[in-house]
Structures are given as structure tokens and as C-alpha cells.
Amino acid sequence: MSLHSYDDTVVIPALKRQVSVCHNQSEVAPDTFFFAENIDLDLYEHIIVCMSGGKDSIASLLHIQEMGVDMSKVELWHHDVDGREGSQLMDWIFMADYNRKLSDAFNVPLYFSWLDGGFEGEMLKEKSYSRPHQIETPEGQITLARNTKRGKPGTRLMFPQQGASLASRWCSSALKIDVGRRSLNNQHRFEGKKVLFITGERREESANRAKYNQLERHACDRRRGRKGRHVDAWRPVLNWSEEQIWDILRRHRVVAPIPYRLGWARSSCMTCIFNGARIWATIVKYFPERARKIAEYEELFGKTISRNKVNVLELASKAHPFEIEDLVALEQSLSDTYSLPIFLKSGERWIMPPGAFSKEGCGSL
């Protein structure tokens, strides 16, 4: 291989992947970038921040604020894992209201979306189709029915399987990814517009996430299609360490969200299928009803969440629970109304929560 062709085929493509993107070049440069720390936010008419209510999505919002984003273009999307039909199997019960208070505090709109019946409804599917998606939009809530002409009725009757494959670990795809995609695909306001879709994954969380691109076309991008919908997916904190995440929350005086104050390392589902023994022991101690409901389903299905065939109560019995000392956070965790502050009041000291830097297994990676 000549020196020139080596440059053309190896060196230059590698550099293109590594340099931060001057986003004005997006039409001429390849649109997938492994690193894209700095992009031009002014290019977009809509900026959607997927807001779980956890530290990484809050850090993503704070980061674009620091970059000088026009906040009038920003909106938050939150997927209710348990839906709105009465199930309380997976989510923290205050999480929906926490997100409402967060959106009020940042003065940006928040739109919820969910799979009708939530996690529990999908898990109990038996020879039937998945239920509709419910999507909040600026014009009101819309119901998106399933196309029963495509595919056959299905049966789940078991918890999602632990693993990286989204096919068997169906909760992430059925309750978050699909809901987000349909929300993008079914709103006319995005047609002919440039949309930036922001999520808060970080490379250091897992070997799988280490391989993510920082900027790429979103699966719902139709920039060359009839609808002319340009959708970029950007992960602004992908290269950040956990120290950087906590630091931006500290600098902006955002109080650490409740799950971290209780000892959880991640703020995803409270009863996540990836929870380790210590987290289950803590749930059994402080939220026994939630552990009991999960164990009952394991019994009913004849299949445990754990691949080792031990149910969550047996798993819990093998570890010591956290001793929760933050009684204010504990009391809040039992209420579906979030009544604590989002920002510290003047003169209050920011406190690193016990869950920070913990390696205790919880949350999907």
C-alpha cells in the first residue's frame, strides 16, 4: 500500500472519527462519529433530552445549558416504565413527579410517554398483541394503536432476561426505545425540521456502551425521505467520568436524586432485573411489598429473574442491606408526590450521596 493510499484509507478516516465535529460540516462529512464532544446546537429546531431523572440525564441537560443552548428549543421526554394504568412494579413511585418538578425548575416542557399497562402489562401478555403506546405532545395525549396485521400475537409470561441483547431483555426496547421512536415518528411538528435527540449513556458504564458512537443518525431520521425529518442522536456525556457527572450537579447545586441518596448506584427502575443481592436485601428491608410482588411473579412463571434460579427473596437473604441514614430521602421514596427541592437553597452545602461511585449492581447497561 502506498503512503498516500494508507493515509486515505486508514489515517484520515481514523482522524475523522476522533476529531470533535464542527457540525456545519454535517452535510459533507460522514454523519457517524465515535467522538463528537462539541456540536453546533444552533443547527437544531428541536432538542429533546431523554430525562430518566438520573444523574447522567440531568448532567446532559446542565451541559447543554452550559454550552449556551437556546432553552426555548429544549424539551424533556420521560418514559413511564409502569405506565399510567395503576401498576407499581418497577419504577420508583416518586419518579414521574420528580421529573415534573425538574422540568418546572429548569423551565422546560416535559412530555411523558408509555406503553399502556407498562412493564407488568407487557410481561403478562399471553397469546395477544402488545398494547398501544400513549404519547404526550404539545397538542395533547395521543394513543398509537399496534398494527395487528404485522406479526403474530405473542406470549411473555416471564421477566426480561438479563443480558445485552435487547431481544430477550425486552423491557428496554418495549418500554423505552420503541416508545421514543413512535413518539418521534408520529408528530407532524418534527417533519421538515432538524431534531437533536439526547441521551445520557457513558462509555465507562460498560464494555457495550464503550463502543457507542457519540453522534449518529437516529433510527427515525428521514432527512432524505418524504417527511424530511432530520434526527441526530447525540450522547453529550458519553466520554465523561462519574466524577465529572457529580461535579456538574454540584456546580449547579442540583440535589442528588433520591435513589443515590438511598445507596443505589443508578437511578433506573427500583426493582431492575439487574439488581444485585445487596440491592434486593435493601428492598426487602425497606420496601418489602415490592420484593414480595416480584417474587410472586417468579413463582407464577416458574422462572426467576436470576439465571442462577434463585428468586429475589433468596438472593436478598445472601447479602446485608444498606443502612439508610438519609431518613428524609427514605420518607420521600414512599410518596408519589415529590416534595423535596431540586436545587439547594442558598447557604446549604452540596452532599455527595452514598450511592455515588458504588459498584453495587443495579440498572441496565
Residues forming contacts to ligand SF4 in the complex (CB under 6 A) are 81, 90, 160, 171-172, 175, 268-269, 272-274, 363-364
User: To the nearest whole angstrom, how small is the minimum distance from the Cβ of residue 101 to ligand SF4?
Assistant: 21
Residue with smaller CB distance to ligand SF4, 54 or 196: 54
The smaller minimum CB distance to ligand SF4, of residues 26 and 52, is found at 52
Nearer to ligand SF4, 32 or 161 (CB): 161
Q: How far apart are CA 67 and CA 236, in angstroms?
A: 11
Residue 74 grid coordinates: 429544549
User: What is the chain's Cα-based Rg?
Assistant: 21
User: Least distance to ligand SF4 from the beta carbon of 343, Å?
Assistant: 26
Q: What is the DSSP string of 144-188?
A: E---TTSS--B---SPPPSSS-TTTSHHHIIIIIHHHHHHHHT-G
Q: Which three cell numbers stand for residue 274?
A: 439487574
> 132: which 3 cell numbers?
398501544
Least distance between ligand SF4 and beta carbon 271 (Å):
7
Q: How far is the CB of 279 from ligand SF4 (least distance, A)?
A: 11
Residue nearer to ligand SF4 on the CB measure, 354 or 363: 363
For the chain, how far is it from start to end, CA to CA, in angstroms? 40
| Nearest by Cα to 229 from 46, 28, 29 | 46
**Cβ nearer to ligand SF4, comparing 21 with 90:** 90
| Exposure string for 350-363, b = 16+ CB within 10 A, e = fewer | eeebbbbebebbbb
Residue 263 backbone zone (phi > 0: left; psi -120 to 50: alpha; other: beta): left
Residue nearer to ligand SF4 on the CB measure, 53 or 353: 53
Q: How far is the CB of 109 from ligand SF4 (least distance, A)?
A: 24
With a CB cutoff of 8 Å and minimum separation 6, the contacts of 363 are: 264, 265, 266, 267, 268, 269, 272, 274
* Rounded least distance, CB 200 to ligand SF4, Å: 13
